[in-house]
Chains A and B, each alone.
Chain A
């Protein structure tokens, strides 16, 4: 019987020391172990001679904690791990097929298995990674700053040498990292690979302006409408006709949200035929009914967008308006590339 204040202190201290060494266990397991530990240690202490410390029988708290953690954790997969393992198992046939296809692809080209070939490409990836990092650093820290940029570029060949120096430095670092990382644990290598992919992604985003014309033009309808600047792209002016085939002037175009549409190119008109595209106030012909009636122009600061047509019709254009008469001249407007109404108005009354 050693249930004395001294042994109680010994037990509490021992338990506390063990607890410190179990700090990284999952909370539920740690709590379970520690809740009953004092009780258990008291049972052990009851068998000890008075004055003999617990450590004499059990060894040091650190060793005790180590032994405890080796036996106390339920070797049960966590839900997250189980989920990913089942996912991998599901994807396994597809992955095996993809690996086989990749092997056949590289094998047929005479460079061996895909995995082996991929390993030979590693140094190339390290160089590329270094170049991307260098480009990003130069882009953000040097050329992003107007003063620095001018300072670097104003010294002739210095700018070029500076860029080369940055590139070499980062390629060297990347190569060094690549070689070192081969000795790292699988987890750290994966982290390094993920970092490299993230770097490449940031680089791709940062330098997407290089491919601006290819990326944004075709992906975004808004960008598509707003960046129609090349003459090849068609719309340089907008001609609106009424039901009688009369060309409407002083027309504003709005989208479904009431935002002005900026179609066409006010600067593309022949000399002397350009209207002021933002002209407000009285319509040219003084009739108020010719603006778009479906949507009231928003009244914020009177900004209605372009006023159409952007170019004053030249004299011969008068003959180009669409006519309700099938025999009348069709509004070809070929030289302007303008679109023409495809259907003849239903009620000819000219």
Chain B
């Protein structure tokens, strides 16, 4: 149940997560998933990453290029476009805002309780 709830939460953040891991360095599909796993996002599946990559590509936030691989098939690399960087900044600001408010919301009961205790 906990896992389901987290994956639902993450769904709304997939854009910002994928764009963020591509911000510093371009990457290909499966490698991006590995980066996410390394960052602790174990719930995000390959299909979610692939679907998000294609959606961001269709909306012009990502571009692609193909590079040959020494160890296997050609790899399709994804890179942020300028609109993609702008979109990431906007989403990041929105996330920071929501995150701060959520923090305030969750901190509030403790403060109230503390105030009551003091009174």
- A residues contacting B by CB (< 8 A) are 1-3, 29, 32-33, 36-37, 39-40, 42-44, 46-47, 57-59, 63-74
What does DSSP make chain A's interface, helix, strand, loop or mixed? helix
Contact A44 B11 (CB under 8 A): no
The CA-CA distance from A43 to B71 in the complex, in Å, is 10
Contacts of A65 in B (CB 8 A): 47
Q: Which of B11, B52, B73, B74 has the most CB of A within 10 A?
A: B73
Given known contacts A43-B28, A67-B45, A70-B48, is B54 in contact with A33 (CB within 8 Å)?
A: yes
| B55 touching A44, Cβ below 8 Å | no
User: B28 to chain A: closest CB distance in Å?
Assistant: 6
Nearest-CB distance from A19 to chain B (Å)?
13
B51 at the interface (CB under 8 A from A): yes
Out of A42, A44, A57, A69, name the residue touching B51 (CB < 8 Å).
A69
With A and B bound together, what is the CA distance between A284 and B52 in angstroms? Answer: 95
Q: Within the complex, what minimum Cβ distance (angstroms) separates B73 from chain A?
A: 4
- Let me know if A72 and B46 touch, CB within 8 A: no
B3-21 CB mask vs A (1 if < 8 Å, else 0) is 0000000010010000000
CB–CB A43/B30 < 8 A: yes
The chain B residue sitting closest to A39, CB to CB, is B76
Pick from B46, B55, B69: contact of A46, CB under 8 Å: B69
Are A42 and B72 touching (Cβ within 8 A)? yes
CB distance from B64 to the nearest CB of A (A): 8
Q: Which residues of B contact A (CB under 8 A)?
A: 11, 14, 28-30, 45-48, 50-52, 54-55, 58-59, 69, 71-76
* A74 touching B59 in the complex, CB below 8 Å, given contacts A32-B54, A43-B30, A58-B46: yes
A39, B74: Cβ atoms closer than 8 Å? yes
Quick check: B46 and A71 within 8 Å, CB to CB?
no
The 3 A-B residue pairs whose C-beta atoms are closest, nearest first, are A46-B72, A72-B51, A71-B51
CB < 8 Å neighbour of B73 from A3, A63, A64, A68:
A3
Q: Which of A1, A63, A64, A72 contacts B72 (CB 8 A)?
A: A1
* Chain B residues positioned under 8 Å from A32 (CB to CB): 54, 58
For residue B59, which residues in chain A have a CB less than 8 angstroms away from its CB? Answer: 74
Once the chains bind, are B54 and A36 in contact (CB under 8 Å)? yes
Contacts of A68 in B (CB 8 A): 47-48, 50-51
Query: Shortest distance in angstroms between A154's beta carbon and chain B's nearest beta carbon?
Result: 70
Measured in the bound complex, the distance between the Cα atoms of B48 and A42 in whole Å is 17
A/B interface sample: 27 pairs, CB < 8 A: A3-B72, A33-B51, A33-B54, A39-B73, A39-B74, A39-B76, A40-B29, A40-B30, A43-B73, A43-B75, A44-B30, A46-B71, A46-B73, A57-B46, A64-B45, A65-B47, A67-B47, A67-B51, A68-B47, A68-B51, A71-B14, A71-B48, A71-B52, A71-B55, A72-B51, A72-B54, A74-B55
